[in-house]
Amino acid sequence: AQSVTQPDIHITVSEGASLELRCNYSYGATPYLFWYVQSPGQGLQLLLKYFSGDTLVQGIKGFEAEFKRSQSSFNLRKPSVHWSDAAEYFCAVVPFSGGYNKLIFGAGTRLAVHP
């Protein structure tokens, strides 16, 4: 079945440590790929997106993500986490099924940051 998987429901890191959030998708063709961040009780903010081209994508707030076609993955990374990065992170895809239609979200990964 077509899906977006975020294997880690909850991750805790220390401030200043590196971070990697995993995302895998299962669609026949490479979809458009996105990472969003959501603070409690808020809407979603786009961190970065991948459509085509360079597989390493730079986003806002020091985040980057790498698209790996062979692994059907689009993992989010940050070299040094700040306390303000604590939030919920969602990987999302726009699958190719007759043109752009809808954004499908993964289950999300809740990030906690220890001082």
Partner 1 sequence: GAVVSQHPSWVICKSGTSVKIECRSLDFQATTMFWYRQFPKQSLMLMATSNEGSKATYEQGVEKDKFLINHASLTLSTLTVTSAHPEDSSFYICSARDLETEAFFGQGTRLTVV
Binding to partner 1 (CB under 8 A): which residues in 6-45? Answer: 32, 36, 41-45
DSSP 79: S
CB 57 to partner 1: min, Å:
13
94 binds partner 1 (CB under 8 A): yes
Q: Which of 3, 16, 18, 51 binds partner 1 (CB under 8 A)?
A: 51
Please give the sequence-ordered ranges of beta strands (E in DSSP) within 3-107, or none if there are none: 3-5, 10-14, 19-21, 24-26, 32-38, 44-50, 56-58, 64-68, 73-78, 87-94, 104-105
Q: Is 112 in the site for partner 1 (CB under 8 A)?
A: no
Residues near partner 1 (CB under 8 A) are 32, 36, 41-46, 49, 51, 90, 94, 100-108, 110
